Amino acid sequence: PAERPLQGMKVLISAGPTREPLDPVRYLTNRSSGKMGYALAEAARDMGASVILVSGPTQLPPPAQVDLVRVETAAEMYEAVIARAEASDIYIGAAAVADYTPAETQSEKIKKRGDTATLVLRKTRDILAEVAALEKRPFTVGFAAETVDLEAYALDKLARKNLDMIAANWVGQAEGGFDSDRNALEVFWKGGREALAMTGKKRLADRLTALIAERLQAGVVV
Ligand code: PMT
C-alpha cells in the first residue's frame, strides 16, 4: 500500500554523536543531538519497516516500536552497525561519527602541564563506506554535513563511498543542521537529485524516507 511502502523491510539507522574518551573524565564529541536520525527511525517505522536505531549518546526518548542499540564511541558504533548491516534492506547513516579518535585513552586523568597541549588522534573506520562495500549490501544512504561547497562534497562522497543515495545538509548556519528542530536536504543519487525544503525534522524524514522507498522500487528489476 502507498502509505506503507516499507512494509516488511528491515531498516538500520545510525543517529547522534559519538564520544571519544581522552581519559576517565574527558571526551571529544560534536553538536549532533540525534534528532535527524530519530526522526528517520520514526518515519521508517510509520511506513511499515522494522527499524533498528544505533544511537550515540543523546537526550532523546527512545522511539516507540523501534529497536534501540545504544553506543558511545565510533568503534562501538562500527561494531553495532556492521553486525546488523547484511541482514538489513536499507542503511541510513545519519550519525555524526568522529573521523578521529585519541590515539591513546589515558587510564588516569591527564594532568595540567605547560601552556600548550597536543593531542594525537587516529583515523576511525568509515562505517558508511564499509557498509557500502559489503558483499550483501543494503540500499546505502549517507549524509554529508558541510559548511562550504555542499554539492561538490556530497557528489564526491556519493561516488567515492559507492553509495546509493546521499542527503546533504548545510551545518553551522542560523537554521538547520546540528541540534536544530528543522533542516533542509539536497539529495543526490546516480542520475538524479531532489531538494527537500527547510521544515521540521519529522516531516523532512518522512520525505527522505519516501524518496528512499521510491528509488529502491525504481532499482528493482522485474
Ligand atoms: O543529530 P542532529 O542534531 O539532528 O543533526 C543532524 C546531522 C547534522 C548530524 C545529520 O543531518 C548529518 O548530517 N549527519 C552526518 C554528519 C556527518 O558526520 O557528516 P560527514 O559529512 O562528516 O560524514 C559523511 C557520512 O559518513 C555520514 O553519513 C556519516 O554517518 C558517515 N561516517 C563518517 C565517519 C565515519 N567514521 N563513519 C561514517 O559512517
Q: Is the CB of 18 under 6 A from ligand 1?
A: no
Q: Is the CB of 177 under 6 A from ligand 1?
A: yes
Residue 93's H or E segment, with its range, is strand 90-93
Q: Is 114 left (phi over 0), alpha (psi -120 to 50) or beta?
A: left
Ligand 1: centre distance to CA 159 (Å): 16
| Residue type present at position 140 | T
Q: Is the CB of 126 under 6 A from ligand 1?
A: yes
Q: Which atom of ligand 1 is nearest to the CA of 96?
A: 18
Flag whether 109 is marked binding. yes
- % residues pLDDT > 90 (the chain): 95
For residues 124 and 96, is the Cβ–Cβ distance under 8 A? no
Q: Which atom of ligand 1 is nearest to the CA of 130?
A: 39
d(CA 210, CA 212): 5
Task: Tell how far CA 8 is from the center of its chain.
Answer: 22
**DSSP string across 159-188:** HHTT-SEEEEEE-SSSSSSSS-SEEEEEEE
pTM of the model: 0.97
Place of cell 524516507: 209
pLDDT class of 3 with cuts at 50, 70, 90: confident
Flag whether 157 is marked binding. yes
| ipTM at complex level | 0.99
Going by alpha carbons, the residue nearest to atom 36 of ligand 1 is: 126
30 among known catalytic residues: yes
Q: State mean pLDDT over 164-173.
A: 96
Q: State mean pLDDT over 84-112.
A: 97
**CATH number 1.10.10.10 is the correct assignment for the domain at 10-219:** no
What mean pLDDT, rounded, does the chain reach?
96
Mutate to test the pocket of ligand 1, among 97, 126, 170, 187 (most ligand atoms within 8 A of CB): 97
